[in-house]
Amino acid sequence: MGIDLPLIWFVIIIFSIMMYVVMDGFDLGIGLLFPFAKKSEDRDVMMNTVAPVWDGNETWLVLGGAGMYGAFPLAYSVILDALAMPLTIMLFGLIFRGVAFEFRFKASEEKRHIWDKSFIGGSIVATFCQGVVLGAFIDGMPVVNRVYAGGPMDWLTPFTVFCGLGLIVAYALLGSTWLIMKTQGSLQKRMHDLTNPLLYTLLAVLAVVSIWTPLSHADIAHRWFSRPNLFWFLPVPVLVLLVSFWLVKAVNRNAHYTPFLLTLALVFLGYSGLGISVWPNIIPPSIAYWQAASPPQSQGFILVGALFIIPIILVYTFWSYYVFRGKVTPDQGYH
């Protein structure tokens, strides 16, 4: 029995995207929460919680994109063609917030508000566009003769806009629980106060998406609600409710680390639900990952490099978070 190279690469890409969503999610979430912190010293602390690690978080996005380019060129070309506009706008958002990150610490007090606004705006734009891309991916992309057959604005629908707004809520929740873990005092209390409303809003978003998606896509409805699938997949929504309940309890008792860990679990469950809905398609609704794969020789060649570089990325990521563990106080700074 031979090695299933397309499946291995599919898992690598899914893992890379999940790592990006988790790790850059709370990073973007901090920018989304900037308007709730009016004092300059609080904003300094918020940025310093991710200053040592923020640029490394995006390594996973690069790995996922490069892996798709080499292992699934059909998916890469179709997705970039269908979603060129939101992906380009997302990159501009990431550039704006990256520039703001560096220049804010060097700007004079009277000019700092410019970079604050750039940081907030870049975070909102990048997050919203990622949500739009997610919604468009769920909706599917028409392919004829291995070429994208839709229009340049097919990605803009009420569903994709709703997904964009929903992802803003999800990243803000990741950001608030990250700051609960990394800060103290009045800033931490403000994040405690924001977390439960964000959680309730996210649960409402998940409920709407969970109803909207099967109503719009018969294949997804059949995947979730036919027997025996219904019983196999039922643990996902049940665990979402249980994790949400534990998260509320953790926030109410002023826990420091548990809220962030439970939010990670919540994001993973949402990611699992997405995977169940589209599996095994890499271009929904009908092109499976093995149909979009590059030749085995190409996949095997780049897999050698991936198996070398991924452990290195994991080690330096773990080490950077370990070195900069603990609370961040106003008298600390990494710039």
| Each residue's pLDDT tens digit, 259-297 | 999 999 999 998 898 888 888 889 998 899 999 999 999
Tokens 């070309």 map to which residue? 77
DSSP 294: P
Residue 153 has pLDDT above 70, yes or no: yes
Q: Rounded mean pLDDT of 47-57? A: 82
Range ranked top by mean pLDDT from 29-43, 100-114, 142-156, 169-183: 169-183
What's the CA gap between 313 and 319, in Å, rounded? 10
Strand partners, 169: none
Range ranked top by mean pLDDT from 104-108, 109-113, 298-302: 298-302
Interacting residues of 62 by C-beta distance below 8 A, sequence separation 6+: none
| 127 compared with 333, residue with greater pLDDT | 127
Mean pLDDT, rounded, of the chain: 89
Tokens of 126: 């990048």
Quote the pTM value.
0.93
Q: Rounded mean pLDDT of 93-112? A: 82
Residue 99: CB atoms within 10 Å: 14
Residue 167 has pLDDT above 90, yes or no: yes
Confidence at 332, pLDDT banded by 50, 70, 90: low
The pLDDT value given to residue 241: 94
- Whole-angstrom CA distances from 17 to 35, 120, 142, 321 are 28, 23, 23, 19
Sign of CA dihedral 100, 105, 108, 113: positive
What's the CA gap between 185 and 9, in Å, rounded? 45
- Residues 184-232: tens digit of each pLDDT: 888 999 999 999 999 999 999 999 999 999 888 888 888 888 888 888 8
Return the percentage of the chain with pLDDT > 90, whole number: 50
**Angle at alpha carbon of residue 237, lines to 244 and 87, rounded to 5°:** 85
Tokens of 8: 């291995």
The pLDDT value given to residue 2: 64
The pLDDT value given to residue 43: 86
Give the pairing of strands 281-283 and 143-144. Answer: unpaired
Tokens of 110: 């009277």
What's the CA gap between 331 and 217, in Å, rounded? 53
Confidence at 11, pLDDT banded by 50, 70, 90: very high
| 330 compared with 29, residue with greater pLDDT | 29
Q: Which residue, 270, 272, 126, is CA-closest to 199?
A: 270
In whole angstroms, what separates CA 171 from the centre of its chain? 7
Identify the three-state secondary structure at position 240: helix
